[in-house]
Amino acid sequence: MADIDFTGKKVLVTGGAGFVGSNLVARVARAGGEVTVLDDLFTGSRDNIDPDIKYEFVKGSVTDEQLVNRLVQKADYVAHMAARNIIVSTKNPRDDYAVNIGGTLNVLMAARESKITRVVYTSSASVYGNPHIIPIAEDERTRTFSPYSVSKLAGENYCYAFYESYGVPVSAVRYSNVYGPKQDPLNPYCGVISKFIESIDNDIQPQIHGDGQQTRDFTYVDDSVDATLTALLSPKSEGMVFNIGTGTETKIIDLLPILGRLFGKQVTPLKIDRRDIDNIRRRVLNIEYIRTRLRWQPQVSLEDGLGRTVAWYLSRKKAR
């Protein structure tokens, strides 16, 4: 999106040292925004944030009500991206509850008492569970199969409630399998694409859970960031939830030939037992609503996005 402009605007990004958050921070800063990052560095890292941009970093958690209130009061916009991910949430549901639900409530309570222009809450396609209809539209019935999906949906519902009850200008976006630069394969919580890249580069058979025929809607991080910022800037997003994806369904096993070509290697997967979590057979999102209402659509194809991700990985490896 070429017309993103935050000149003179103060933007708070919770979880801004994470994978998607750090990419969004860089985009806002380069669009003229005065960025404040709130992150407890549980899974994020300050190394993710580009060193050539200006930003204020606050180490802390969204569970700290007073800290959140102070930071939100100073902001024009809030991108609320801080969360415990699905693996951590499954291991410790109480922590998931405190951060994903309690932290979101803290952000919304602070926004209710401020003159905030808009809050965008980042949710997940995991709230759909195993859908009955493909591609999945926003009005598909939700089926929460994990503590993470429960807390993400609860956060959405708090957003709706604060919009309807108090007029808080908030919207939500549902991410689908975001990948790209800064998704560190050495991080145990990273996604499947990063794990595949690391394995192929080290001549290790990539592990596939089950038969590899399960599908996902893989979304390049720049597209996810653009969609999030579009929702943050547009008054048409208020009170709404939007799918962010590509509308393209890809089998997990079909990633390997593409990545193999990028590395110039023949890749044979090692099939292992199904995962204990996120055992969703098919996932692809219907993105017609965000396309028509906010005039957003993805720009990066899977092959192009994988190419950019591999290039980032190799350049980072060379720089070590």
CA proximity to 76, closest of 12, 20, 144: 12
Beta-strand pair 219-220/178-179: parallel
User: What CA–CA distance (Å, rounded) separates 65 from 30?
Assistant: 29
| Amino acid identity, position 281 | R
User: What CA–CA distance (Å, rounded) separates 281 from 131?
Assistant: 9
Query: 270 near 205, Cβ under 8 Å?
Result: yes
Query: 118 near 12, Cβ under 8 Å?
Result: no
As to burial, measured by CB atoms within 10 angstroms (0-12 exposed, 13-18 middle, 19+ buried), residue 3 is exposed
Helix (H, G, I), strand (E, B) or coil at 226: helix
The residue behind tokens 């208020």 is 238
Query: 100 near 154, Cβ under 8 Å?
Result: yes
Query: 4 near 31, Cβ under 8 Å?
Result: yes
- Of 121, 148, 158, 313, which residue is the catalytic one? 148
220 a catalytic residue: no
Which DSSP category does 146 fall into? S
CA distances from 44 to 12, 47, 127, 214 (A): 16, 9, 23, 28
Strand partners, 193: none
Please identify every residue annotated as catalytic: 148
